[in-house]
Amino acid sequence: LSKFESIKEKQKVGILGGTFDPIHFAHLATAEFIRDKYNLDWIFFIPTGNPPHKLGIKTDKYDRYNMVLLATETNDDFIALDIEIERNKQTYTVDTLKDLKKMYPNAELYFITGADAICEVESWRGVKKNFEMATFIAATRPGISLLKAQEKIEQLERKYDTSIISVYVPSLDISSTYIREQIEAGKTVRYLMPEPVEKYMQRKDLYKQIEE
Ligand code: ATP
Ligand code: MG
């Protein structure tokens, strides 16, 4: 919170939303690359509370948030925010952006997504409003066709009269789904996320198959 309070109005703020179930190195490396490339002052990591898209999440939202806290703690430019976690209704990006706009009316907001997420952005509530409130930055993601993502981006730009930054990020082929599957199968997930996150998962027995 102390880091958060020192944010000044004119600053450029990147936002990475996600279920972070769990957070991994690709989230962190992508955010850091974009922060550096576009001279962003801060990156907010905002884990979703009860996302309408992912009703199948089994992990407690506080566990997901705690792992984001652990993963971002060693980077002074990264801030874990619980504004969606603390909202008791279903959470939508559009409401989060409105809240951030209210808190920082003069900050420039950049919403970061992976190539998979930008392709789904039209299914989110308040698409047009989202594009008005933040500049979207779409990062490449291994396994997601660049051509398909690029076509989608151009289509969105025309339809919503907006511009979306698309950026090649030398990234990692890691997904939370893969991590969950590895753990369920009793396989290793070492070096896919910061160690404190790995330890947390172990301590809380996260993603282990529950015997019926
Ligand atoms: P899941 O497999 O559960 O969907 P995930 O790895 O996709 O998990 P999310 O929390 O869904 O992680 O993603 C949050 C954001 O981070 C999304 O915009 C997603 O596109 C982006 N992202 C996740 N992994 C990568 C990656 N390897 N490279 C680039 N972007 C990524
Ligand atoms: Mg995902």
Model ipTM value: 0.99
| Cβ–ligand 1 contact at 48 (below 6 Å) | no
- Return the amino acid letter for 162: T
| Cβ–ligand 1 contact at 141 (below 6 Å) | yes
pLDDT value, residue 55: 64
Helices (H), the chain: 2-5, 25-37, 61-72, 93-103, 115-120, 127-133, 146-160, 176-184, 195-203
Q: How far, in Å, from the CA of 116 to the mean position of ligand 2?
A: 7
Confirm if 35 and 77 have CB atoms less than 8 A apart.
yes
| Cβ–ligand 1 contact at 84 (below 6 Å) | no
Q: Whose CA is nearest to atom 6 of ligand 1?
A: 175
Can you tell me the distance from the alpha carbon of 17 to that of 14, in angstroms, rounded to the nearest whole number? 10
Q: Which ligand is nearest to the CA of 193?
A: 1
pLDDT value, residue 171: 79
For the CA of 20, the nearest atom of ligand 1: 10
**For the segment 106-154, what is each residue's pLDDT rounded down to a tens digit?**
899 999 999 999 999 999 999 999 999 999 999 999 999 999 999 999 9
Q: How far, in Å, from the CA of 143 to the mean position of ligand 2?
A: 12
Q: Whose CA is nearest to atom 18 of ligand 1?
A: 113
Q: Identify the segments of the chain with pLDDT beneath 70.
A: 1-10, 51-55, 210-212
Three-state SS for 42? strand
| Cβ–ligand 1 contact at 176 (below 6 Å) | yes
Neighbours of 157 (CB within 10 A): 15
pLDDT value, residue 52: 63
Residues 190, 198, 188, 202: is their CA dihedral positive or negative? positive
| Cβ–ligand 1 contact at 143 (below 6 Å) | no
